[in-house]
Structures are given as structure tokens and as C-alpha cells.
Chain A
Amino acid sequence: MSGEEAGLWMQVDKAEASLKVAPNIVRDMPLNAYVAQIVCRLAGDYCGTLRVYIVETPEFNAAAMPNGAIMVNTGLLLRMQNEAQLAFVLGHEITHFLHRHTLAHMRMAVRTGGLVALIGLATAVAGAGYLGSAVSTVGVGAIYSNSRDEERDADANGFQVAVNSGYAPDEAPAIWRFMMAEDNAHEHKNRSAFLADHPQSEERLASLQKAADAARDGRAGWIQNEDGYRAVVAPFLHRWVEDELTRGEPRESVILFQRLTAAEPRNALYQYGLGEAYRRRNLAGDALYAVAAYRAALACSQPPAEAWRGIGLVTMKEGEKAEAREAFNAYRAQAPDATDKAMIDFYLTQL
């Protein structure tokens, strides 16, 4: 092992140690076990060399570190509609690890450049960000840059690994398609982390679609396991929907929740998410779409009380006082301990 390689291993192991104690690691056993068993099925004999870390952050991303640590963001789990989609993402990342890509081309978020060594600080674990220029030092969600060939390899072999485990081939191009749609929703912004690491191109989508066409032929009984996936993520959905909204990217959130509600119209949390996304996007006509989505949420089983609050906020702004009053009263009745109850009560005095 070269000196450079050993040094990289040291830094990677350090990054994993840091990841282990990060406050936003999701430690729920059933969720971790579920993701781990998919990883195991895909990795076969290498199952024992891999460790899964679920990170609560709304960005869509997953990454495999060269030492076998695999990070999966909850933003990615929110976006998957079934187990097969998750399996294709994991297969792609596992391939990077198994084929030792990231070791050769790893670039850590931590860079020890000359001037930094002089100061000796930028790599020290440091504290608060400053308004508008948050200082990021050790980046646990490090971005690994792989070459085009490595990406093609991860696509092709990752796809094959998942297909060999029985996962429905069409789910692979589906992921790329919906992520590109979401990314296109916002003209100017920087790409999502996953797409930045995996440069989008029609060529890659076409290859995956072609591979899916070939693999699908003549076989049935492919695994999608929509129900199993939904059951595992159900306890977290409310939280992950709220996390998505904290991104402050309502245009992308609209695209996301339109897709999720189209596939699962009876899911109250997806409908609520769609309502919130429309309300925050606030383009012409969005007020009506928002209320429609909130009402759809309320018609489902176990709707979140916040759907009432959403209707109240929209109708209050539109000057529909009676509707707003009704909605806020319903919110207060359904969520008597809501942390924003004082503000809602204040709105009621204005209506």
C-alpha cells in the first residue's frame, strides 16, 4: 500500500468515526436493519464488509466510502417509491466500493492545503457558521468524484447486481427520470448533490433504459415491494416531509410531491406535503392547488393536523375569513399542544 493510499484510508476511517457520532444519524433499528438486508442481498459474499449509516438530511444522496461505510440520506429514502428503486441506488454505490473506484479518485471535503496547514485550523472541528458564510470543515457527507468510466461501470454493474437479486429492471431508469425532472424544476440553482456526483446525461438514461429493456424480456415476478417499503418508512414520513420543506425549494418540492401523490393518492402526508409545497411556491393559481391538496390529505386516514393550518394560512391571505376561521379552529382542536398555537390564536383574533 502506498503512503498516499494509507493516508487516504486513515482519513476515511476518521470520517467514519465522525459519522458514527453525528447527531443526525438515524439509529432506528428496524429501518437500519431493512436497508442493511438489502445491501447484504446485493453485496453477497461482501456483505460483512459493509456498514450502513442513515443520515437525516433532506438532500437526495447516497455514497459509499472506500472502507465499506455506506451513507444513505433520508432525503433519498423519502424519494424512493419502492424497495427496488432503493436497491438500484444501493447497487450503484456498492459497485463503487467493490470495484475500488473511490479509493483511486477520492476527494475529501477536508483539504489540507499549504496555507491551511500553517494556520492548522480549518480542519479542526469548528463551530457555528456565520451569517451567509457557514464555515464547513470536516464534511462527513464528502463528495467523491468518480470518472466517467467508473460511473458507467457503477451504472452497468450496479444495475446487474440488483437485477440478479430479482429487482424490477424498469425501476432503475425511473429513478434518473424523476430526479432529473425535479432538478429541472429550478432553473438557476446548483444541482442536487447526487446529480452533481453523477453527471446527468441523456446517454446514461438511455443506457439504463436499454439495459432494462433487455433484462425485462421473458421474465416475470420481479421484486418491487412497494408495500414493504411503505410500511418501513411510514413512521418517519411526517418528519421527512417537514425536512423536505425546510429546504426552501418549493418548486422542486412540488415536482416531488406531485409524483408521490400520483402514485399514492391516499397517503395523507404526501398530499399534505404537496399542499405545503404549492402554498410556499405561491405562483398564480397555487393557492387553489394548495387547498385542494390539503383537503385531499384531510380525506385520507390519519391526516396531519397541519393540513388544517395550511388551509387557514392560504384562505386568510385570500381574505376568506370564514374558511380561515373554520380551518384554524380545526387545527387547534386536532393539535391542542401545537408549538405555534399562540400565533394561530392570534390569527383567529384578526379574522
Chain B
Amino acid sequence: MQLIRLFCLSLLVGLAGCNSITLVEPGKPVSVGAGVSVMPQVKWNQISPSKGETVWTQNGPSIDTVYFLTGVADGKPLYPVVGMRDADIGVFHANMLPNDVQDLVVGTMQKEGFDNVRAGSLSPCPFGTASGFCFDLDFVTKDGLLMKGKVKAYKSSDTLTLFEFRAPSEYYYADMVPIVDKVFASVESK
């Protein structure tokens, strides 16, 4: 029905079009793109808005989200930002250091519409069996809701794989981060 489609587009403006949400069951590895898989630990809701982007949520994207970005190539942004060209968003380069990737995440989030985006605690950390890097985020939505985030990433010789968890600072981040840590720790790639 005409009205329902409009509903989808405007109400669900945070979800591309009106893609259905699928259930992710725990218990076995789940692909999150480009030969990368994780163990979900618990049930999740999965949305897949664009190529190279898998998104999980417990309570809906207005609250919490876990993004799995896989196969980000040299010269490409981390993800599309509505109304901006790749060059304006900022792109990944294969010779980037972890500090540069951190700066790229921060810059992309500022352009996405968040305020006061700050990264901290950048450190090496295992990415499955490989050597990756991690950092934390603090930021504010345009409506003034304080948020926290956690990033875990791995750079191969030519591509970037990056996981990011975002949730409100009030209650949700601390409540969910133990499970998210386990999900991130379970990553395997072919």
C-alpha cells in the first residue's frame, strides 16, 4: 500500500529502504562479510543496508548497533555518508597506520552528524589469530544523547576489516559490552 511504503521510508529512515530484519542464532559461526565470521554468543537482529556492511542490533538502531565493515579497499571511505562524495568523507589508504584509521573513523563520524567525537585508548589487540588494533569512542548525537563506542580492526596489506559497537552511555554501553567483546574476540577469517 502506498502509505505503508512512505511509512517505511520516513519512519525507518535509519534503516535503508524497508529491508527485513533477520534473526541471528547463536551456537554456530555467522558470516559478516568477505570470508569473515564471528560467534554471536546470543541472538541478534541483523540488518544489511549496503554491500560490505553488516549491522546487528539488540534494541534497534536508535539505541545500539554493531557494525561489521569488511573488505574496505584502498581509496574507499569506511561507509557511505548520505549526501557526500567519497573524497569528501575521507578514504582509507592501504599504508595507513592504526592512528590514521582511528582519525578516519572519528572524521567519518563527525560528518555522519555526531558531535564531539573523541577516540582514546588506542592499542594493539588480537583480531582472531592476527594482530589488529582497538580503541574506544565517546560522542554525542545531534539530540544530545551521550554515546560510547568500541572499535576493533585489522589491516591486511590492502584492505581494512573494522568492527564498531555503539550504544548510549546511560546503561546500554556497559550492559552490552561484555557480550560484544566476546563477539569481537571470536572473529575468524579465511
Contacts and interface: CB of A to CB of B under 8 A. Distances in A.
Q: CB–CB under 8 A between A and B in the complex?
A: yes
Contacts of A132: 49-50, 79-82, 112
Nearest to B104: A248
A246 B13 contact: no
B95 to A, nearest CB: 7
B163 to A, nearest CB: 12
B141 to A, nearest CB: 6
Contacts of A280: 100, 103
Interface string A18-29: 100111100000
Contacts of A136: 113, 142-143
B144 A18 contact: yes
Contact of B145 (A128, A133, A140, A249): A128
Contacts of A234: none
A248 B123 contact: no
Contacts, number: 154
B87 A188 contact: yes
Interface in B122-172: 122-124, 133, 135, 140-147, 166-168
A128 B13 contact: no
B108 interface: yes
Interface in B19-77: 49-50, 53, 55, 61-65, 67
Contacts of A342: 121-124
Nearest to A109: B142
Contact of B168 (A127, A313, A340): A127
Interface stretch (A45-53, A64-72, A113-121, A258-266): A113-121
A346 B124 contact: yes
B99 interface: yes
A128 B63 contact: yes
Given A128-B62, A340-B121, A340-B122, A188 B113 contact: no
Q: Is the interface of B mostly helix, strand, loop or mixed?
A: mixed
A285 to B, nearest CB: 17
Interface in A112-147: 115-116, 119, 121-122, 125-140
Interface in A130-173: 130-140
Say whether chain A's binding surface is mostly helix, strand, loop, or mixed.
Answer: loop
A224 interface: no
A133 B82 contact: yes
B15 interface: yes
Contacts of B87: 188
| A contact residues, range | 35 or more
Interface residues of B, number: 66
B92 to A, nearest CB: 12
Contacts of B124: 342-343, 346
A133 B10 contact: no
Given A23-B146, A135-B14, A128 B61 contact: yes
Contacts of A127: 62-63, 141, 143, 145, 168
B106 interface: yes
A219 interface: no
A115 to B, nearest CB: 6
B85 interface: yes
Given A247-B110, A340-B99, A340-B122, A133 B142 contact: no
Given A115-B6, A340-B121, A340-B122, A131 B112 contact: yes
A188 B85 contact: yes
Nearest to A24: B116
Interface of B: 6-7, 10-11, 13-16, 49-50, 53, 55, 61-65, 67, 79-85, 87-90, 95, 97-100, 103-104, 106-108, 110-118, 120-124, 133, 135, 140-147, 166-168
Given A24-B115, A130-B55, A132-B79, 16 more contacts: A115-B10, A128-B65, A128-B145, A129-B14, A129-B114, A129-B141, A131-B49, A133-B14, A134-B141, A136-B142, A140-B144, A246-B106, A246-B110, A247-B107, A248-B103, A316-B97
10 contacts: A115-B6, A127-B62, A128-B141, A135-B14, A136-B142, A190-B83, A246-B117, A313-B100, A342-B124, A343-B99
Which 9 A/B pairs are nearest by Cβ-Cβ distance? A248-B107, A134-B113, A342-B123, A130-B14, A340-B122, A339-B120, A136-B142, A127-B62, A343-B122
Interface of A: 18, 21-24, 56-58, 115-116, 119, 121-122, 125-140, 186, 188-190, 242-243, 245-249, 280, 313, 316-317, 339-340, 342-343, 346-347
